[in-house]
Every structure is written in structure tokens, then in C-alpha cells.
Amino acid sequence: MIELPNGDTKRFLTLRLSTADNLVSVYAPTLPSDAEVKDQFYEDLECAVSKVPTCEYVIFLGDFNARVGTDRESWPGV
């Protein structure tokens, strides 16, 4: 490890390794969560990822709470 794990929020944890890989473990808010909670999560995640040098890899782990099902019209292009 180059840096100790950083728990920027209760929803994700970043870890920088000497292999130039950055692990980001996430737990995104669920669909019924308030829009403010979801927006804050993505703002915090963007802030954390923007701190990673562009020459390094970022590997996301965890749960972004993806939706699967027959309601394809709600998610065009997916």
C-alpha cells in the first residue's frame, strides 16, 4: 500500500496500491433513496476519483445497485 485506506464517506473506501492500481469499494444508495442522497454519493465519488492520477488504473468494487428487469424503456441504451 502506498496510502492507508481512505474512508471519504460511509458509502465508499479508496485504497492506493504500489502496483498503480486504485481500488474503490462502493455501496451506492438504493433506488428509493432521496435524490439528494444519490446526488451527494456521485459528487463524493467523482471527487475521490478525480484525485487519482490519470496514469493510474481505477478498479471499482462493490454495489452500484444496478437494476435488471423488463422495464427497458426506462433505461435507453442499456
Confidence of residue 36 (pLDDT cuts 50, 70, 90): very high
Backbone φ and ψ of 14, nearest 5°: -110, 150
pTM of this prediction?
0.61
Position 48 pLDDT exceeds 90: no
Structure confidence at residue 75 (pLDDT): 64
Lowest-confidence region among 3-7, 10-14, 15-19, 67-71: 3-7
Cα separation, 75 vs 33, whole angstroms:
18
pLDDT tens track for 57-66: 888 888 887 6
Structure confidence at residue 1 (pLDDT): 44
